[in-house]
A and B are shown apart, each in its own frame.
Chain A
């Protein structure tokens, strides 16, 4: 299975762990990734706040470069912001001839061109869950994450917005693909209402109070839910929840200690890989104590307590059936 791969600026350094774990697990799962030739920054949420045509041209250069790999139409991005920008640009260029015209005129100045709809932009999670499939992944698991209580944190940009005409690969409010994947890896998935709530993006730099509050809500909910760690799939989310957890604790006068790992790192561990090559240890809130539960670095701890069985004389009212919705 061939894919063109767009790492994005974060994966170069601050989210290098995401990059190396992605390469490791995709290889193990039989996916062939070819990096986009000489890609540039996607502009994050910054360029589109300054100049419309330039911001789309910046993104479109990447699409044009990616399209040069004629072996596949699939463009995969592990970073949710890059993913959103790439597919939004592709969508609007297909939908709005006026915009496409301008962007292509700009691209022509660099000897490039792109037609909206040429590529299929996918997030890494989508590719693993939809193309490989959780069953195939489960079959390759040699170190099940048994006993590990994990919060599946999607963040906002992977599932939203669902542009008309593009089938969303998961629910925009309460997605479940990462939950399913983590379950297939043997972990216990912690119910988490804020699974698709926003980490705040760059808000810590605009207004500390707002930025830290957004981070606090997530870390608090994960802690209240009894999680051992948070599984993330976006470098911005990981940076906010992990690197900024200390400053947040200081600002909010809290004392949370909730490690945040990339889902690819957890996937790699379940596939039997070692921690260091997956970049584990590069997180600021140390995940290794939590990973002791699955015998990583430290011998196996006691198994988790069995779930409570409901009492006989149960007056409670039935809940609505959720299957088949």
Chain B
């Protein structure tokens, strides 16, 4: 420091939160006697405008050049007081906070001890602040391009919002077409809108928008850089179809002799060809060749698609291409996988023919699906006269997934409606609870009750074909305790639909790692704050939206897609972003080039300068965690605003104070 520190100390009452336990007047008076302190006050609410004005006035009129506020957690009000200092012309890093609420008045009721601790905390802050340096934030420019990963309804929403505002979007989708899971559904709750009818206009818009570059049948390979400045490598997989020539006529698909079970779009319930468009309204309309099943790729013969193609668009020589793009922000909207019901053998999925999963059932009732919208049993022909719908398959269950999948209750009610409408069959709905939290959801439940569905409150124990008597012969039997009457029931039905839960994508952890974000224990992407910031992540510039952040329905997904877009647009609108100045810095003279810090950095924020053979911290990526400082064998790394000098001063301030109390006690 060049000038002598003149410290202003402000002890906050926080109403009675602090003052009710800590003797704030006493602390303020005592603090006035500490070294370097020129002003010491106590006040009811320091975070109020009047409180802040106190600080500003003292800086401007009394030459205070270091500020200590003893109040709540810095998590809440550090920015508030830093801004107050900045407004008064004092560098915001010459400010320090002492937390005498969460760390003191809120954890004890002993007034004597609380006051002593408050004094120690204040002394620590006062001692530290004298060693603090004025620091300047880093500003990084923001590239206005945006990457959206995932072409389901969430990704489409986000992409459209950004594209409509005039900025370029790269929309990457792993499957051959946009649409995601929503494209598979028949009707959506609670309105019973046809899913494809409401989705395809958006898909079309996204596919044709001048500001959206659509990259389907593609995946992100590598992500480098930091907010405002990402470099992304994308692999465009070979379709074996020349998009410049293909007109989407579909003859190749029609004539292809190889039929395989479509495990993705048809959920295993129907077939597709080796060259295929996943569904008629696909965007883009270009087919892809599944080379694992294509006769030409497997055996070198056939080539029928090439022969019949009127525009010569089939190209077996096509290769994957890698493209690199520069974007400023990334939105992940990668969606969910359905829980694998084969993991629950007692429900018979895969063993008993007439047990279906929810996605299989969606494809079945879908007019464009494998049965033309008819609800039939596994033989493809017979209409069921009785159907059981089972809730909580793989959800709310510590044996599989502990969480509730949010949509299955509503989905099950929807299924009950569709079964009734299409077949007039008896529907038995077996549930633990009926969860209808959103708008018009409970009203939908009441509508289904009116439709005469038999509700049985009990989690189904097993689904079996072992008939105990003639009335069960040839049926699929659902065994459940009807808990509302306290009796076990066996309900013989023709068909069972399992409302399987939602789970994170199989590769969620790898994807998270690729983009520098974390996953929870259930592999959902982790948001910055579960209540107040559900679309941002701990990595600046990377956002998450939709089901990949946790199970949710379409309205919530769309809202999150738009929210993520809004956050991105706000950053782009600012043109530049301020990076917290408490970053690490390497002293190149003493650095020995051992690279230990690079290996230990959890944010991959340190690079190695080959020409100098020295480590270098990329400030924009650095989060100021201090791991490298501790790791560095030659003590060459310093963490700004958390230097050894400052930390030691802080400790000495606290310890000297605590020690002084020992001699005072009698």
Q: Is B242 an interface residue (CB 8 A)?
A: no
Stretch in B221-229, B447-455, B460-468, B612-620 touching the partner:
B460-468
Q: Is B346 an interface residue (CB 8 A)?
A: yes
Interface contact A316-B379, CB-CB below 8 Å: yes
Chain B nearest CB from A259 CB (Å) reads 20
Q: Is B345 an interface residue (CB 8 A)?
A: yes
For the complex, give the distance between the alpha carbons of A224 and B469 in Å. 11
Residue numbers in B under 8 Å from A316 (CB-CB): 378-381
Task: Across the interface, name the chain B residue whose C-beta is closest to A221.
Answer: B466
Q: Is A309 an interface residue (CB 8 A)?
A: no
Interface contact B263-A321, CB-CB below 8 Å: yes
CB-contact partner of B346 in A173, A217, A319, under 8 A: A173
B418-449 residues with Cβ-Cβ distance < 8 A to A are none
Residue numbers in B under 8 Å from A322 (CB-CB): 342, 350-351
For the complex, give the distance between the alpha carbons of A221 and B466 in Å. 6
Q: Is A282 an interface residue (CB 8 A)?
A: no
A193 with B380, Cβ < 8 A, contacts A317-B371, A320-B268, A325-B342 known? no
Chain A nearest CB from B462 CB (Å) reads 8
Interface contact A217-B466, CB-CB below 8 Å: yes
Residue numbers in A under 8 Å from B379 (CB-CB): 315-317
| Chain B contact patch, size range | 20 to 34
Residue numbers in B under 8 Å from A299 (CB-CB): none
Q: Is A130 an interface residue (CB 8 A)?
A: no
Q: Is A220 an interface residue (CB 8 A)?
A: yes
CB-contact partner of B350 in A220, A221, A314, A319, under 8 A: A319
Q: Is B261 an interface residue (CB 8 A)?
A: yes
Interface contact A173-B345, CB-CB below 8 Å: yes
CB-contact partner of B268 in A174, A197, A315, A318, under 8 A: A318
Interface contact B343-A325, CB-CB below 8 Å: yes
Interface contact A317-B378, CB-CB below 8 Å: yes
Interface contact B269-A318, CB-CB below 8 Å: yes
Q: Convert B340-354 into 0s and 1s, putting 1 for each residue whose CB lies closer than 8 angstroms to a CB of A.
A: 101111101111110
Interface contact B261-A194, CB-CB below 8 Å: no
Q: Convert A43-62 into 0s and 1s, putting 1 for each residue whose CB lies closer than 8 angstroms to a CB of B.
A: 00000000000000000000
Interface of A is mostly: loop
Q: Is A27 an interface residue (CB 8 A)?
A: no
For the complex, give the distance between the alpha carbons of A104 and B269 in Å. 58
Residue numbers in B under 8 Å from A142 (CB-CB): none
CB-contact partner of B468 in A171, A174, A220, A314, under 8 A: A220
| Chain A contact patch, size range | 20 to 34
Q: Convert A297-325 into 0s and 1s, putting 1 for each residue whose CB lies closer than 8 angstroms to a CB of B.
A: 00000000000000000111111111001
For the complex, give the distance between the alpha carbons of A79 and B255 in Å. 60
For the complex, give the distance between the alpha carbons of A322 and B340 in Å. 11
For the complex, give the distance between the alpha carbons of A224 and B464 in Å. 14
For the complex, give the distance between the alpha carbons of A70 and B263 in Å. 53
Interface contact B381-A315, CB-CB below 8 Å: yes
For the complex, give the distance between the alpha carbons of A144 and B340 in Å. 37
Residue numbers in A under 8 Å from B344 (CB-CB): 173
A319 with B378, Cβ < 8 A, contacts A171-B345, A193-B464, A193-B466 known? yes
CB-contact partner of A317 in B343, B345, B348, B370, under 8 A: B370
Task: Across the interface, name the chain B residue whose C-beta is closest to A172.
Answer: B345
For the complex, give the distance between the alpha carbons of A318 and B263 in Å. 10
Interface contact A318-B343, CB-CB below 8 Å: no
Interface contact A317-B351, CB-CB below 8 Å: no
Residue numbers in B under 8 Å from A321 (CB-CB): 261, 263, 268, 350
Residue numbers in B under 8 Å from A173 (CB-CB): 344-346
Residue numbers in B under 8 Å from A224 (CB-CB): 467
Residue numbers in A under 8 Å from B263 (CB-CB): 321
Q: Is B271 an interface residue (CB 8 A)?
A: yes
A193 with B465, Cβ < 8 A, contacts A171-B345, A174-B351 known? yes
Residue numbers in B under 8 Å from A320 (CB-CB): 268, 342, 349-350
Task: Across the interface, name the chain B residue whose C-beta is closest to A322.
Answer: B350
For the complex, give the distance between the alpha carbons of A217 and B352 in Å. 18
A178-227 residues with Cβ-Cβ distance < 8 A to B are 193-194, 197, 217, 220-221, 224
Q: Is B270 an interface residue (CB 8 A)?
A: yes
A318 with B467, Cβ < 8 A, contacts A171-B345, A325-B340, A325-B343 known? no
Chain A nearest CB from B378 CB (Å) reads 5
Chain A nearest CB from B372 CB (Å) reads 11
Interface contact B380-A315, CB-CB below 8 Å: yes
Interface contact A194-B268, CB-CB below 8 Å: no
For the complex, give the distance between the alpha carbons of A107 and B173 in Å. 66
Q: Which of A171, A193, A221 has the most CB of B within 10 A?
A: A193
Q: Convert A160-181 into 0s and 1s, putting 1 for each residue whose CB lies closer than 8 angstroms to a CB of B.
A: 0000000000010110000000
Residue numbers in A under 8 Å from B261 (CB-CB): 318, 321
Residue numbers in A under 8 Å from B467 (CB-CB): 220-221, 224
Residue numbers in A under 8 Å from B270 (CB-CB): 317-318
Task: Across the interface, name the chain A residue whose C-beta is closest to B364.
Answer: A317
For the complex, give the distance between the alpha carbons of A68 and B353 in Å. 52
For the complex, give the distance between the alpha carbons of A160 and B271 in Å. 39
Q: Which of B344, B345, B353, B464 has the most CB of A within 10 A?
A: B345
10 A-B residue contacts at CB 8 Å? A171-B345, A174-B346, A193-B352, A217-B466, A220-B467, A315-B381, A317-B378, A318-B269, A322-B350, A325-B342
A→B interface (CB under 8 Å): 171, 173-174, 193-194, 197, 217, 220-221, 224, 314-322, 325
12 more CB-based (< 8 A) A-B contacts, given A316-B380, A317-B380: A193-B351, A221-B467, A316-B379, A317-B270, A317-B371, A317-B378, A319-B350, A320-B342, A321-B263, A322-B351, A325-B343, A325-B350
